[in-house]
Structure 1
Amino acid sequence: MRPFLGTFILLGILSFLISCNNGNNSEKKDKSTTKQEKIDSSAIKKSKADSISKAKKEKKVNYNQIGFKLMKSESLSGLRLDLSSKKVSEIIGEPEEKTDPALWGADGLYHQSWTYTEKGISLDIVGKEGERQTLSRITITEPCTFKTKRKIGIGSRVDEVRTAYQEEIDPASSSASSIAAGTHYGGVIFGIENKKVNQIFIGIAAE
C-alpha cells in the first residue's frame, strides 16, 4: 500500500510541475505576443506619419496665387487695396505729403505716394493719367494702430502671426526679419524686429 501511495504522490507532484511550466510558457507567449503587437502598432503609426509628412512635402503650393488672393481680401481697419483715392481720404483724411504722379514702365501706370507721418501710414496710389486713382500698396508702422482682419497689428508677436496666417506663409519668401503670407509678388508681408511686428505691407513688393 505504501509503495502505491508514494507513487501516487510522485505522480501528483510531477503533474503539478508540468502544469506550472505550461502556465509559465503560456504567460511568456502572451507577453511576447503583446510586445510584438505594440511594436507592430508603433511601426504602423510611424509609417502613417511618414506618409503624411512626405505628402505635405511633395504637395506643390502656389504661394503666388495664395498671396494675390489674400492681398485683395485683406484690409487694415477698413483700408484695403483698390479703394478709390477719394474713399481713402474719407477714411484717414488727407496725407501730410503727396509726391507728383510718376509713370512706371513696369506697369504703365502713374504712381503717387501718400505719406501720413504722424499716423505711421504710407500709401501708393495708382492709375492712368486723367482716370480714377486707386490704392495699390499699403504700409503701416508705429504709431499706427490698424489691424488686419485676423487681428494682427504693430507689436503683435511672431507666434501670433504664424498662427493667424499658417496656411498662407511661404517659408521660401520669409526670413528672421520678415514673414510673407504669400510672396513678394503679392501678399501681406510682416516686418519683424525683436520677435514682434514692426511693419505691415499689403500689395506687390517686387516688380
Structure 2
Amino acid sequence: MRRLLMAVAAFSLFACAGRPVPAPSAPVEAAPPETPVVEAPNAVDPLPPCEMEDDECRVNRLGDTSLGWLKAGLSREALTERLGKPAEENGPFEEGATGEFVTTVSWPTAGIEGTLSANDAESPATLRDYTVQAPFAEKTERGIGIGSTEAEVRAAYGDAFDPRSSGLV
C-alpha cells in the first residue's frame, strides 16, 4: 500500500513539474489548517487456525450470531408476539443433563423449532436453541442462511467452520 501511495505521489509531482503557475487575480486568503493525515494501521494478520478438536476456539471465532431477528435468549413473549402461539408445545420438563426446565416449541409454517429453557419451573423461559428450515428466509449478519453453500460459509466464517462436519449447510 505504501509503495502504491509513493508511486501515485511521484507521478503527481512529475505530472505537475514545468507548468507555469498563473498569478492570482485577487488577493489570496490563507487556507484553513489541514486535518492531519493519519495512516491506517497495517492490516491485522488472520488468527491462526483452530485446532481440530478445539470447539471452544470455533465458538469464540463465531461469536454471537442470529438469523435476522431470531436469536438465542428471546423471551417466550417476544416469540409469541412475532409468530403467534406455537403450533406444537411439549413441556416444561426437567432436563436431567442440565437441571433446566425446558419446553420444545415449533412454528412449522414459519420453519422454526426451538427449545425454551428456564432455571426452574416458575422462572420465565427464553429461547436456548433453535433449528430453521424453509420457508424461513432470514440470514446471519454475514449473509448466510438456508441454501448457503459450504464455500459461502467458509468465506463468511472461515475458521469457525467445523472441518469434522459433513459440509451440509
Band the TM-score falls in, shorter-chain normalisation: 0.5 to 0.7
- Which residue matches 2:151? 159
CA gap 1:144/1:98 in 2 versus in 1, 3 angstroms: same
1:119-138 paired onto structure 2 within 5 Å = 119-127=110-118, 128-138=120-130
1:93-108 paired onto structure 2 within 5 Å = 93-108=84-99
Return the structure number with greater strand share: 1
Corresponding letter in the other structure for 1:86: E
Corresponding letter in the other structure for 2:157: Y
1:79 aligns with 2:85: no
Distance 1:68 1:124 in 2: 22
Equivalent residues of 2:61, 2:159 under 8 A apart = no
Distance 2:158 2:84 in 1: 34
Q: How far did residue 171 of structure 1 move?
A: 1.4
Corresponding letter in the other structure for 1:154: I
Distance 1:83 1:148 in 2: 16
1:67 aligns with 2:59: yes
- SS, match of residue 159 in structure 2: coil
Could you give the per-residue CA deviations for residues 148-174 of structure 1, whole angstroms, max 9, x where no partner exists?
1211111122211111111211213x2
- Between structure 1 and structure 2, the one with the greater Rg is 1
Distance 1:69 1:102 in 2: 33
Return the structure number with greater helix share: 1
Q: How far did residue 69 of structure 1 move?
A: 6.8
Could you give the per-residue CA deviations for residues 86-129 of structure 1, whole angstroms, max 9, x where no partner exists?
12222333211111211111110111111111111101101121
Equivalent residues of 1:123, 1:138 under 8 A apart = yes
CA gap 1:115/1:130 in 2 versus in 1, 3 angstroms: same
Q: Normalising by the residue count of structure 2, what TM-score does the alignment of the two structures yield?
A: 0.63
Corresponding letter in the other structure for 1:140: V
- Which residue matches 1:170? 162
- Which residue matches 1:31? none
Q: Which runs of 5 or more residues in structure 1 are unaligned? A: 1-55, 179-191, 198-207
Q: How far did residue 68 of structure 1 move?
A: 5.7
Equivalent residues of 2:58, 2:162 under 8 A apart = no
Could you give the per-residue CA deviations for residues 21-60 of structure 1, whole angstroms, max 9, x where no partner exists?
xxxxxxxxxxxxxxxxxxxxxxxxxxxxxxxxxxx67x74
1:111 aligns with 2:107: no
- How many residues align structurally? 120
Distance 2:89 2:115 in 1: 10
Distance 1:87 1:98 in 2: 16
CA RMSD of aligned residues (A): 2.2
Equivalent residues of 1:79, 1:91 under 8 A apart = no
Q: Which runs of 5 or more residues in structure 2 are unaligned? A: 1-47
% identical aligned pairs: 32
